Structure 1
């Protein structure tokens, strides 16, 4: 795709991973002229972040991709522990949860290889009229009071009113802005991660090979739902130079499991990985925002990185749409960092603790309890708040035959009347204002400068 010098868009999104694609979808359904650019010639390969947490599945339902995601994936299998070539036990990765315990259709993560997740998101973006321009490497950004100019390796430029860096942990845009990341090495032992075919191995279990006599380190082979592949994870001693070639991958399997090298019939994507945790010092500079791995890098142990990233996009999308559409002042955009950076910091701590076996994969990893109660957008006016408070995610409940999420779906504000109060719900499904009656809701919108009437009202008697 050629980009002439006079090309301009409302929002330039740098990076076509799950973060950039989800943001592109959210903006496209709001009528925002956005362009996603990707330095690669195609979507990134590999299973990478394969777990979608319950809250992300709720976001995907609103973005219109849930059915395709559910069709493409499956639940996580029970882990099978191996010792000396024999199955010696089982391991459940996630703590059990009762159905609807947290007001959600989903109780456990859903496995979809990241490459397939991205394909689904791209198809939805294009269905809405959005575009991904491949082979467009951003090498620098300049900005002024009116917008951002991005420069490509080709020498071309593009002008945007706002730009979003969703270009990963080594973000070129973040570096160009001079925004530092503060972090630590989570584990000195590097990992080899690869997508492999192993026909001889049962696909009903996640096969785990703890280190032991004769084994140089831990390994696991997880069957990737919706495919014929397994995701290999193999740990190496600190200082090891990992060989991600097909021969190196086969050797890692043979050294750590009862399988022979030739049992690995195909090796697809592979990568060496060093678990780190890092947080950008800020999530915004002028008209440029950081989202996803460009803003926070997680250990994969808790299955939090991709999910937190998609939820960054979900938080930023409605705010950009409201400002660009003239329905809110530009100060609304200040709340993106205010709300998302504390969440990212909390999730970083959780994922690091899980990696170090200091925490379990329980309610916190499902991300349903994350809230914005301390946000300047959250106004709780009731003297005695109930279970649902300003800043909270509205639960997915059916009340008197009405499914609340059916009322909330779409890019709009919603006024909910329930037996414990009245709630003005933001487009991302979080309560902005809560009161005992509708009195005060209009004043709240006026205080924020939100010039958008709630598009519908749902009335029910109980939560």
Structure 2
């Protein structure tokens, strides 16, 4: 039997693995994060951060950095074959509300997302996994440097071709469509204004897209697969545009799959290692970050029953999101007239819920709109702070609405906050109308909703707190 060490090995330093690392780091849990590539990722690939992901970044203390690095999606300018141009948005810009402070998708190139998430995280570049095996004593990981380490847990966040998933023998269910491909490249150019995302449609599908990336002078180019050099391809739609530099390039193919399991013993799959999506709708990277956000605090508990809830909660969510992105992809393939619309509220991922799951304890006879399992909304407080200020930091939070009785004894990892009837904005956001206790989980979902303090005590035992 292996001798168990108390640290976690995170395999893969993309957005998912880095989110797990940040969760463990702030909770004081030892870890190693290894990345097979010799250097950080350099491409723009997954450039859209959904509103729920922005809330995760707020909780991690990074939202100001990301907002400074990114921008709203620009208006799209369609250059029709007849010479007419038409301007429109995939989704209208939404105003912030007390409950939703970040209502719009933020464009940030993926390399910059990785860079910001990696600040202060000790990533070991040029180190991959060659093999792993486990028994009741832990998980023995053989690195491709020859080093062998034994960890308590391993997180496979190493992409769609995951070495960890293959070592576990977990099926990657779904299909690959070799005839559905897309060229993606980062380019510098002259002769085109940066105030729009430019698209040149063709027959039957589009010919070219050029989207200005924030934080510099790069553009993301998308086009159907072609043998034509990028410079000639761009010149064919507008001779006034000159490509001055070509950076990262990738040939995307429609590979739509999901792992049959997200946990095998002490090994967990997350991000692209667990599910790969079409880029349509900007769901894949965001779902991976939220996998890591869900898993990180559960690893910190070290509680086996709590860790089982990772798969129970995230696998159904991943399946649902995969269906959404696949539907959007099929509309693109069919060249539907509404294929580029992104105004479905579900894409913002704010409505994703764990209602009915193993960590959703709704004890109220007549719950309001916000129930156990739902995302905890924001709201202004009487002292000038926001609810998100109370939740930030990786701890659980007890919101006591008008509760005059004695609160239960709480461990130091749970922060209580009394809300008087004078703080009506919070009561309204949470749709609370009577004295109520809401226990907010460390990942800022409502865990327990009750009027009885004993329910909170029982729930904290369920969380291993």
Alignment match, 2:76 = 79
Q: What is the TM-score when the length of structure 2 is the normalising length?
A: 0.86
Q: Which residue of 1 aligns with 2:221?
A: 232
Work out the CA distance in 2 between the residues paired with 1:252 and 1:175: 38
The partner residue of 2:107 within 87, 92, 111 is 111
1:376 correspondence with 2:367: no
Counterpart residue number, 1:460 = none
Equivalent of 2:464, from 423, 430, 450?
450
Equivalent residue, structure 2, for 1:135: 126
CA deviations over 1:398-439 (Å, ceiling 9, x no partner):
144441111111121111123523201100000111012434
Q: Would the alpha carbon gap of residues 83 and 394 (structure 1) be closer, same or farther in structure 2, given more than 3 Å must change?
A: same
Q: How many residues align?
A: 423
Partner Cα distance (2:32, 2:212) in 1: 35
Counterpart of 2:394 (choices 411, 414, 419) is: 411
Q: 1:153 aligns with which of 144, 148, 151?
A: 144
Whether the aligned pair in 1 keeps the contact of 2:139 and 2:154 (CA below 8 Å) is yes
Equivalent residue, structure 1, for 2:118: 122
What is the CA deviation profile of residues 439-463 of structure 1, one whole-angstrom value per residue up to 9, with x for unaligned ones? 42112223x1523xxxxxxxxxxxx
Of 351-360 and 397-406, more deviation after overlay is shown by 351-360
Per-residue deviation, 1:7: 12
Q: Does 1:64 align with 2:44?
A: no
| 1-structure distance, mates of 2:351, 2:181 | 32
Q: Corresponding residue for 1:350?
A: 324
8 Å contact 2:33–2:123 — kept in the other structure?
A: yes
Give the whole-Å Cα distance in 2 for the aligned partners of 1:436 and 1:273.
52
Given the two structures, how large is their TM-score scaled by the length of structure 1? 0.87
Task: Find the aligned partners of 1:85 and 1:135 in 2 and give their Cα distance.
Answer: 51
- Aligned equivalents of 2:443 and 2:250: distance in 1? 35
For residues 159-218 of structure 1, what are the alpha-carbon distances to aligned partners after superposition, in whole Å with 9 as ceiling and x for unaligned? Answer: 2110000000111111111111111347833100000011211100000111149xx853
For the residue of structure 2 that corresponds to 1:310, the secondary structure is helix
1:150 alignment partner, SS class: strand
Secondary structure, aligned partner of 2:7? strand
Task: Mark the runs of 5 or more structure 2 residues left unpaired by the alignment.
Answer: 332-337, 402-426
Residue 383 to residue 7, structure 1, CA distance change in 2 (3 Å): closer
Give the CA deviation at 1:280: 0.5
- Check the 8 A contact 1:283/1:341 in 2, yes or no: yes
Aligned residue among 443, 452, 455 for 1:428: 443
Give distance in 2, aligned partners of 1:157 and 1:48.
33
Q: CA deviation at 1:95?
A: 4.7
The aligned residue for residue 3 of structure 1 is none
Contact persistence 2:81–2:201 (CA under 8 A): no
Instruction: Give the C-alpha shift of residue 93 in structure 1.
Output: 1.3
Alignment partner of 2:157 out of 166, 169, 172:
166
Which residue is 1:455 aligned to? none
Offset at 1:139? 1.5
2:318 counterpart of 1:318? no
Among candidates 263, 267, 274, match of residue 295 of structure 1 = 274
Gaps of 5+ in 1: 1-5, 237-241, 324-328, 452-463
- Secondary structure of 1:149's counterpart equals strand
Report the Cα distance in structure 2 between the residues aligned to 1:186 and 1:436, rounded to whole angstroms: 52
Q: Give, in angstroms, the shift of residue 45 of structure 1.
A: 1.3
On the 8 A contact 1:275/1:300 being kept in 2, the answer is no
- The aligned runs of 1:137-286 (5 Å cut-off) are 137-185=128-176, 188-212=179-203, 217-236=206-225, 242=226, 248-255=229-236, 257-259=237-239, 263-286=242-265
Preserved contact between residue 138 and residue 151 of structure 2 (Cα < 8 Å): yes
Q: Is 1:27 equivalent to 2:24 in the alignment?
A: yes
Deviation at 1:94, TM superposition (A): 1.8
DSSP-derived class of the 2:323 partner: helix
> How far apart, in 1, do the equivalents of 2:150 and 2:458 lie?
37
| In structure 2, C-alpha distance between the alignment counterparts of 1:259 and 1:356, rounded to whole Å | 32
* 1:93–1:185 distance in 2 versus 1, CA, 3 Å: farther
Picking from 388, 394, 414, the partner of 2:370 is 388
Structure 1 residues 161, 111: CA separation in 2 closer, same or farther (over 3 Å shift)?
A: same
